[in-house]
Amino acid sequence: MTHTSRKGFHKNKSACCFKKKWKTKRYLRDVDQIHVDMKPAEASKLLNQAVNYDLPGAAQFYCLHCSKYFISNFALKEHFRGKPHKRRIKELKTEPYSQAEAERAAGMGSYIAPKTVHVETQPLKPDSEIMEF
């Protein structure tokens, strides 16, 4: 009896694409987009949204830094204490990448180290402002 090689039948061709699908599904906004959202005019719009029942928590509990909606004020508080939020805050402390920095990297100027930006966790809404739905 000789050894026969495996033919590779019965393979699931769609299984190879799960990583890309999950990465797209779990996509968070990029750091430079969040820096734009952190400007006072944009931040007030995002933190004081109208009630939208299609979003978790009717769009009343939103983390500005992580760009995520939560179902309750308690869940938002717990998120602020967690490691993913703290990692995102640390990531946001560096100045966002700009076109001027890209040109300096290409040799059209001298290197300037990125500056640090002061970032704090957003204040929570008082219980009197939270709408019951």
Q: What total number of domains does the chain contain?
A: 1
Provide the pLDDT for residue 13: 65
123 lies in a domain? no
CA-based nearest residue to 68, from 127, 122, 131: 122
Structural domain boundaries, residue 60 = 27-106
Question: Which H or E run contains 68?
Answer: strand 68-69
38 lies in a domain? yes
Q: Quick check: 64 and 43 in contact, CB under 8 A?
A: yes
Average pLDDT score, the chain: 86
109 or 68, which is more confident? 68
Write down the pTM of the prediction: 0.74
Domain at 91, CATH number: 3.30.160
pLDDT above 70 for 42: yes
Q: Identify the burial level of 64 via C-beta atoms within 10 angstroms of its C-beta, where 0-12 means exposed, 13-18 middle and 19 or more buried.
A: middle
14 lies in a domain? no
12 lies in a domain? no
Give 55-99 pLDDT, tens digit per residue.
999 999 999 999 999 999 999 999 999 999 999 999 999 999 888
pLDDT above 90 for 122: no
16 lies in a domain? no
71 lies in a domain? yes
